[in-house]
Amino acid sequence: MLESDNSKDQDVEVIEEDWSQFGPSSDNPMFDYYETQKFPLGQGVEMKLQCVESLTPLDMMNLSNGISDSTGNRVWSGAIMFMVYFAIVPLLQSTSIDSLEEENDVKCEKMKSLQNLRDNLFTGKRVLELGTGTGSSLMAVVLSCLHSKADLPHHTVFTDNDETVLKLCEQNCKSNLGAINVSVECLGWGKEETIKSHKEKLYSFDTVIATDVLYDLSALQPLFETASLMVNPGGIFILAHVPRASIDCDLKDICSSLESKILEQSRLHNFKVLGHENGIPVEVGDYALRPKWLKELSIDLPDFVDLGELDAIGASIMMFKNVK
């Protein structure tokens, strides 16, 4: 700032904001800013996760500069969408079915269909998650099965390619699942990475899931390569998707354009998208579970779930069958 001649000399103090508290300490590879967040799933069942509520400016700078990727440290909207469909609603349905049946409400049948879908995809199955991050998605399913008297998955494997995130996931699994036997393993995406690190487990899972993992279109092909190698013939790949990747199209067409790219990759890797004709509770002619369908049920959901927001950002869940 320029001062007039008659102004007094002033000392100028430059203050640099300290962001060090938001990053990892030099003596601890785990991020120091983790906090415990509570996710009530319903009927007294609560999942407590070590995670961050949002990424800090330092995280975003490091991500954009390719220094580090902190996206696995928080729970994203796609994971919440997945939890609602495959953990929260089935858990609520299992404890309120008698009253719903007495009312002969169509809501009962719709909620039953989601519980049946969860059971068909997870109970007694070998399940793998790609890009697990905090572990919230698959962990919620296990807790939902445990507290609704459904059979647990036969084997549950959480995977990520970030060693720090894997330690976080391990900690969250121990805190929430106790003695339940699960595995937390490192797995990168792409044909070569998958074969090199998990050759003995190829085609050995009934259900493979990924939630909110597509931040860049370049990740789409390796994601489907890995899913196609890990799920057995006839098995299911579930992708909970929020359109975040940059794509050259009109703003109003982002959701449909990105979903078209996903469907294209699914076909290239011998997957068939499942829809209403396959018994999936989606709108006739659609191929994805969407928040609108849940909004019509008028279910009392936990406060951390905002169906209006999920609908506004284009959240969806697509299911693909391995038709090799």
Q: Is residue 264 part of a domain?
A: yes
**pLDDT band (50, 70, 90) for residue 110:** confident
Mean pLDDT of the chain: 84
Higher pLDDT, residue 62 or 1? 62
- Res. 19: pLDDT tops 50: no
Tokens of 133: 């991050």
Radius of gyration for the alpha carbons in the chain, expressed in angstroms and rounded:
22
Domain-embedded: residue 218: yes
Q: Can you give the CATH number for the domain in which 254 is found?
A: 3.40.50.150
Residue 233 pLDDT > 80: yes
* pLDDT value at 70 more than 70: no
4 pLDDT higher than 90 = no
235, pLDDT greater than 70: yes
Instruction: Give pLDDT tens digits for 73-84.
Output: 789 999 999 999
66 pLDDT tier (thresholds 50, 70, 90): low
Q: Which of 28, 191, 57, 213 is nearest to 134 (CA)?
A: 213
Q: Is the model's pLDDT at 7 over the cut of 50? A: no
The confidence score (pLDDT) of residue 36 equals: 93
Please report the pLDDT score of residue 49 as a whole number: 96
Number of domains in the chain: 1
**Rounded to whole angstroms, how far apart are CA atoms 323 and 166?**
31
- Greater confidence (253 vs 208) lies with 208
Report how far apart, in Å, the C-alpha atoms of 53 and of each of 36, 56, 66 are.
Answer: 9, 9, 22
Tell me: pLDDT of 97 over 90: no
pLDDT (mean) for 228-242: 97
The answer as to whether 66 is a domain residue is: no
pTM of the prediction?
A: 0.85
pLDDT tens string 150-204: 899 999 999 999 998 999 999 999 999 998 999 999 999 999 999 999 999 999 9
Residue-range definition of the domain harbouring residue 200: 73-322
Query: What pLDDT was estimated at residue 282?
Result: 87
Is 55 part of any domain?
no
Residues 6 or more apart whose CB falls under 8 angstroms from that of 258 comprise: 214, 241, 243, 245, 247
Q: Where do the H-state alpha helices sit in the chain?
A: 57-64, 77-83, 89-103, 106-122, 136-147, 163-177, 191-198, 220-230, 254-268, 291-295, 307-312
Predicted local distance difference test score (pLDDT) of residue 59: 56
Of residues 132 and 61, which shows the higher confidence score? Answer: 132
Does the structure show a pLDDT above 90 at 105?
no
Is residue 88 within 8 Å of 294, Cβ to Cβ?
no
Provide the 10 A C-beta neighbour count for residue 115: 20
Residue 309 lies in a domain: yes
Residue 113 has which token pair?
A: 């269909």
Q: Could you tell me if residue 31 is inside a domain?
A: no
pLDDT-derived band at 106 (thresholds 50, 70, 90) equals confident
Q: How confident is the model at residue 293 (pLDDT cuts 50, 70, 90)?
A: confident
Residue 224 lies in a domain: yes
3-state secondary structure of 46: strand
In a domain, 30, yes or no: no
